[in-house]
C-alpha cells in the first residue's frame, strides 16, 4: 500500500479502479529535406495543422449541452493558440530556409514559446505552457500519423473508472466526464490550470501534478482518490478500504441529512437569524445558489467574465450578465468590482509585468481599476444599470486607503450623473461596501465604515497580507493560519467597528465556509457568512445547533490565548472540527 501526494481538486473521495490512459510516445524526427521536396513538406505541415484544427472543432461541436460554458472557451483558446505565429507560420520559414523537416521545425519554435511561458512569474500564465504542449502534441500526432488511445472508442469502459494519465487537456476532460469517469490523476498540471478549474466546476475529484502517477499506478489497480487531502492510496489494504468506505458512507449519509435543512432558516438556538450567502464566479453558478437556498450572493467574482478572451467584455455584455443573475435569483446580489492582478490575470499578459516583482502588493483590484478608468467605468455603468432590475450591492475589493476609496465614490457619482443624463434607470441608493482584506483596512475599519454601507472580510487575502504569506506559493503554505492571533484580532476589530457604526459586516473568504470555524466566528459576532454553495447546508446545520450566548467565555479565552496549540485545542473544543 502506497500513498502518493499531489494537488487535490474538489472535496470528494472516489474509490475505484485505475484506467491508465497512455498517450503515444512521440519520437520527433530531425532530418534535412531535399530542395525538391520542400513544398511537399510545407503542405504536409499545413495539412497537419488543418487536421488538428478540425479535430478540435469536432470535439467542441460534441460537447454535451450540460457541460459548463468554460469547456467551449478552453477549446477556443487552443484553437487560438494554433494561430500563434510561432506555431502556424514560423515553422514554415524554418522548413523553407533551413530545410528542416516539419516535425523538427515545429518542435524548435514550440520550445521557444514554452520557454517564454516557463519564465513567467505568474503561476496562471506559467500554467499556459501545458496548453501549448497539448496543442503542439496534437499537431505532431497528425504529422507522425500516430493516434492517442481514443477516448471515444474506449467509451463505456471508462464508466466509474479513475483515469490516470500524464496530462489531460480540457477538451478531453469534458469527453471523459461524458463517459462517466469518476476521478482523474495526472502527472502534470497545477491546481489553477484550465483542467483543474473545469474539474472543480464539473465536480470531479482530481489530483494534478502528481509526478510519477503513470509510473507507479497500474491499470486495474484499486485506488482511493481523496480530492480534499490531495492523496491517492494505491492498492489499499482491507482495513484502509473499510475505513474509507465507512467514511464515504458517512459523507453520503450526512449529505442526505443535510438535504432536510434546505428550506429551514439559519437561526441559532437562542434566536439569532444568520445570513447565509453564496460566492459565485459565473452567471452559470446561479443554479447551485438556488439549490442551496442561499439568502443571496455575498460575493460575485466578476473577474472571471474577463478571463480567457482577447478583449474585456463590453458594458452591454456585463450588463446582461449582471441582470441575468439578479433577475434569476430575485435575492440580493453583491457584485464585486474587478479584482484582477496578482494571480488572477486575463489571457494576453499582465500590466507592468516588467516592473512588478511583488504582484500581490502591486497594481491589483481597485488600484488597477482606478489606474484604468477605461476598464472600470463600463463595469460601474453595467452594475448600476443592472441595479434597476433587482437588489444589487456593489463591493470594492482591496480597499486600503481612504483617498482611494474617495476616488472610487467620486467616480461612482460621476457615472451616476452620466446615466441620469442618458436616461438610464438605476438604484439611486445602491449600497456600496468594501472588502476588508488588507490589514490597513481592518485596523482602521471604523474609518472605512463611516464611508461605506457594508464591510465584507476577505480572509483569503487578509491572512496573506497579515502574515506575509503568498497564498499561491506552495513553499510557505504551511504558515497560512486563519487562527493566528493577529488574524483573529483583525477579524474582531472589523466586526466591532462595523457594529459600533451600525454597518453590517459579512465574511466572504474561505474561512466563512469552513465548519471548524463557524462557532468561533459566531462568537466573534459574525452574522453574515458567504461561501461556495456546496458548503452552505453544513454551516446551516452548525448554526442551528449553536447557542451564541454560551460561546462568549470560550471565545474570550481563545482571543487571550498565546500558545498556538492550546488555541487550536480551544477552537476544537467549541465543536464541529
Q: Does 508 sit near ligand PEP (CB under 6 A)?
A: yes
Q: State the minimum distance, in angstroms, from the CB of residue 437 to ligand PEP.
A: 5
Judged by CB under 6 A, which stretch of 184-192, 370-378, 454-462, 489-497 contacts ligand PEP? 454-462
Return the residue of 131, 167, 393, 437 that touches Mg ion, per CB under 5 A: 437
# residues contacting Mg ion (CB under 5 A) = 3
Q: Does 459 sit near ligand PEP (CB under 6 A)?
A: yes
HSE-CB at 186 with a 13 A cutoff on CA atoms is 23
Judged by CB under 6 A, which stretch of 215-223, 241-249, 459-467, 494-502 contacts ligand PEP? 459-467
Q: State the minimum distance, in angstroms, from the CB of residue 337 to Mg ion.
A: 12
Return the residue of 458, 498, 523, 533 that touches Mg ion, per CB under 5 A: 458
Rg (CA), the chain: 26
When the beta carbons of 131 and 393 are compared against ligand PEP, the nearer one is: 393
Phi (first) and psi of residue 517, to 5 degrees: -105, -5
Q: State the minimum distance, in angstroms, from the CB of residue 491 to ligand PEP.
A: 11
Q: Does 509 sit near ligand PEP (CB under 6 A)?
A: yes
Judged by CB under 6 A, which stretch of 181-189, 233-241, 458-466, 495-503 contacts ligand PEP? 458-466
Give the integer Cα–Cα distance in Å for 516 and 542: 10
Q: Pick what 459 binds: Mg ion, ligand PEP, none; C-beta below 5 to 8 Å, kind-dependent.
A: ligand PEP
When the beta carbons of 81 and 462 are compared against ligand PEP, the nearer one is: 462
Q: Pick what 509 binds: ligand PEP, Mg ion, none; C-beta below 5 to 8 Å, kind-dependent.
A: ligand PEP
Give the integer Cα–Cα distance in Å for 266 and 295: 10
Q: State the minimum distance, in angstroms, from the CB of residue 70 to ligand PEP.
A: 17
Q: State the minimum distance, in angstroms, from the CB of residue 190 to Mg ion.
A: 20
Beta-carbon count within 10 A of 195 CB: 27
Contacts to ligand PEP from residues 546-575, by CB under 6 A? none
Return the residue of 226, 461, 470, 514 that touches ligand PEP, per CB under 6 A: 461
Return the residue of 235, 308, 460, 499 that touches ligand PEP, per CB under 6 A: 460
Q: Does 127 sit near Mg ion (CB under 5 A)?
A: no
Q: Starting at the edge strand that comes first in sequence, how are the strands of the sheet with 2-5 ordered?
A: 2-5, 231-234, 222-226, 13-20, 162-165, 183-186, 206-208, 7-9
Closest among 6, 91, 111 to 49, alpha carbons compared: 91
Q: Pick what 427 binds: ligand PEP, Mg ion, none; C-beta below 5 to 8 Å, kind-dependent.
A: none
561 is catalytic: no
- Cell 499537431, residue located: 139
When the beta carbons of 451 and 471 are compared against ligand PEP, the nearer one is: 471
Q: Which of 194, 293, 369, 561 is catalytic?
A: 194
Q: Does 437 sit near ligand PEP (CB under 6 A)?
A: yes
When the beta carbons of 386 and 531 are compared against ligand PEP, the nearer one is: 531
Q: State the minimum distance, in angstroms, from the CB of residue 512 to ligand PEP.
A: 9
Q: Pick what 538 binds: ligand PEP, Mg ion, none; C-beta below 5 to 8 Å, kind-dependent.
A: none
Q: Which of 109, 369, 508, 561 is catalytic?
A: 508
Judged by CB under 5 A, which stretch of 90-98, 376-384, 421-429, 436-444 contacts Mg ion? 436-444
# residues contacting ligand PEP (CB under 6 A) = 10
The DSSP code sequence of 71-96 is HHHHHHHHHHHTTSHHHHTHHHHHHH
Closest among 301, 321, 288, 290 to 389, alpha carbons compared: 321
Beta-carbon count within 10 A of 347 CB: 16
CA distances to 71, 278, 296, 547 from 452, in Å: 38, 21, 20, 31
When the beta carbons of 161 and 301 are compared against ligand PEP, the nearer one is: 301
Q: State the minimum distance, in angstroms, from the CB of residue 388 to Mg ion.
A: 28
For 82, the grid coordinates are 494554433
Q: Pick what 41 binds: Mg ion, ligand PEP, none; C-beta below 5 to 8 Å, kind-dependent.
A: none
Residues 6+ apart with CB under 8 A from 182: 14, 16, 160, 161, 162, 204, 205
The DSSP code sequence of 18-73 is EEE-PPPPP-----BPPGGGHHHHHHHHHHHHHHHHHHHHHHHHT--TTS-THHHH
For 192, the grid coordinates are 489553477
Closest among 68, 539, 92 to 304, alpha carbons compared: 68
Give the integer Cα–Cα distance in Å for 222 and 234: 6
For 97, the grid coordinates are 530556409
Residue 500 CB burial class (10 angstroms; 0-12, 13-18, ≥19): exposed
Tell me the per-residue interface mask from 337 to 366 with ligand PEP, x by CB under 6 A, - otherwise: --x---------------------------
Q: Does 461 sit near Mg ion (CB under 5 A)?
A: yes
Q: Does 301 sit near ligand PEP (CB under 6 A)?
A: yes
369 is catalytic: no
Query: Could you tell me how far CA 480 lies from the centroid of its own chain?
Result: 18
Query: Could you tell me how far CA 370 lies from the centroid of its own chain?
Result: 24
Q: State the minimum distance, in angstroms, from the CB of residue 471 to Mg ion.
A: 9
Q: Does 123 sit near ligand PEP (CB under 6 A)?
A: no
Q: Does 532 sit near Mg ion (CB under 5 A)?
A: no
Q: At what angle do helices 170-178 and 194-202 cross, to 10 degrees?
A: 20
For 508, the grid coordinates are 466572504
Give the integer Cα–Cα distance in Å for 71 and 67: 7
Return the residue of 230, 458, 513, 523 that touches ligand PEP, per CB under 6 A: 458
> Terminal CA-to-CA distance of the chain, rounded, Å?
28
When the beta carbons of 202 and 531 are compared against Mg ion, the nearer one is: 531
Active-site positions read 194, 508
Residues that bind ligand PEP (CB under 6 A): 299, 301, 339, 437, 458-461, 508-509
Residues that bind Mg ion (CB under 5 A): 437, 458, 461
Amino acid at each position: 500500500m502506497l500513498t502518493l501526494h499531489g494537488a487535490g481538486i474538489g472535496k470528494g473521495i472516489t474509490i475505484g479502479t485505475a484506467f491508465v490512459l497512455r498517450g503515444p510516445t512521440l519520437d520527433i524526427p530531425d532530418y534535412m529535406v531535399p530542395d525538391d521536396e520542400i513544398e511537399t513538406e510545407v503542405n504536409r505541415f499545413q495539412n497537419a495543422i488543418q487536421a488538428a484544427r478540425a479535430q478540435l472543432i469536432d470535439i467542441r461541436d460534441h460537447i454535451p449541452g450540460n457541460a459548463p460554458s468554460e469547456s467551449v472557451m478552453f477549446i477556443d483558446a487552443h484553437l487560438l493558440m494554433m494561430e500563434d505565429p510561432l506555431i502556424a507560420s514560423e515553422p514554415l520559414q524554418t522548413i523553407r530556409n533551413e530545410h528542416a523537416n516539419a516535425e523538427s521545425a515545429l518542435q524548435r519554435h514550440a520550445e521557444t514559446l514554452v520557454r517564454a511561458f516557463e519564465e513567467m512569474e505568474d503561476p496562471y500564465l506559467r500554467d499556459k505552457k501545458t496548453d501549448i504542449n497539448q496543442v503542439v502534441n496534437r499537431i505532431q500526432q497528425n504529422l507522425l500519423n500516430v493516434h492517442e488511445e481514443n477516448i471515444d472508442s474506449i467509451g463505456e469502459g471508462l464508466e466509474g473508472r479513475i483515469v490516470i494519465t500524464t496530462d489531460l487537456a480540457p477538451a478531453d476532460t469534458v469527453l471523459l466526464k461524458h463517459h462517466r469517469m469518476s476521478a482523474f490523476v495526472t502527472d502534470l498540471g497545477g491546481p489553477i490550470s484550465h483542467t483543474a478549474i473545469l474539474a472543480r466546476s464539473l465536480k470531479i475529484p482530481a489530483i494534478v501534478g502528481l509526478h510519477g502517477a503513470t509510473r507507479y499506478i497500474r491499470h486495474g489497480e484499486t485506488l482511493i482518490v481523496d480530492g480534499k487531502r490531495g492523496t491517492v492510496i494505491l492498492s489499499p489494504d482491507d482495513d484502509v478500504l473499510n475505513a474509507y468506505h465507512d467514511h464515504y458512507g458517512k459523507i453520503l449519509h450526512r449529505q442526505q441529512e443535510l438535504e432536510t435543512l434546505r428550506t429551514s432558516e439559519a437561526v441559532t438556538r437562542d434566536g439569532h437569524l444568520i445570513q447565509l450567502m453564496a460566492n459565485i464566479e459565473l452567471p452559470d453558478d446561479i443554479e447551485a445558489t438556488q439549490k442551496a437556498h442561499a439568502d443571496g450572493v455575498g460575493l460575485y467574482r466578476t473577474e472571471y467574465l474577463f478571463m480567457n478572451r482577447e478583449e474585456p467584455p463590453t458594458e452591454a455584455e456585463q450588463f446582461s450578465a449582471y441582470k441575468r443573475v439578479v433577475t434569476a435569483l430575485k435575492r440580493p446580489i453583491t457584485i464585486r468590482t474587478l479584482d484582477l492582478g496578482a494571480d488572477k490575470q486575463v489571457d494576453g499578459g499582465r500590466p507592468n509585468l516588467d516592473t512588478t516583482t511583488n504582484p500581490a502588493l502591486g497594481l491589483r483590484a481597485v488600484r488597477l481599476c482606478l489606474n484604468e478608468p477605461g476598464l472600470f467605468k463600463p463595469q460601474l455603468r453595467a452594475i448600476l444599470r443592472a441595479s434597476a432590475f433587482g437588489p444589487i450591492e456593489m463591493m470594492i475589493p482591496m480597499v486600503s486607503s481612504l483617498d482611494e476609496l474617495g476616488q472610487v465614490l467620486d467616480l461612482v457619482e460621476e457615472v451616476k450623473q452620466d446615466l441620469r443624463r442618458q436616461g438610464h434607470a438605476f438604484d439611486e441608493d445602491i449600497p456600496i461596501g468594501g472588502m476588508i482584506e488588507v490589514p490597513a483596512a481592518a485596523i482602521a475599519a471604523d474609518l472605512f465604515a463611516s464611508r461605506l454601507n457594508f464591510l465584507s472580510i476577505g480572509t483569503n487575502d487578509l491572512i496573506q497580507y497579515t502574515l506575509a504569506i503568498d497564498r499561491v506559493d506552495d513553499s510557505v503554505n504551511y504558515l497560512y493560519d486563519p487562527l493566528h492571533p493577529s488574524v483573529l484580532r483583525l477579524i474582531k476589530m472589523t466586526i466591532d467597528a462595523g457594529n459600533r457604526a451600525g454597518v453590517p459586516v459579512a465574511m466572504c473568504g474561505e474561512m466563512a465556509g469552513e465548519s471548524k470555524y463557524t462557532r468561533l466566528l459566531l462568537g466573534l459576532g459574525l452574522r453574515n457568512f458567504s461561501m461556495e454553495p456546496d458548503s452552505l447546508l453544513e454551516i446551516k446545520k452548525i448554526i442551528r445547533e449553536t447557542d451564541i450566548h454560551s460561546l462568549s467565555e470560550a471565545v474570550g479565552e481563545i482571543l487571550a490565548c498565546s500558545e498556538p496549540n492550546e488555541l487550536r485545542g480551544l477552537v476544537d473544543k467549541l465543536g464541529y472540527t
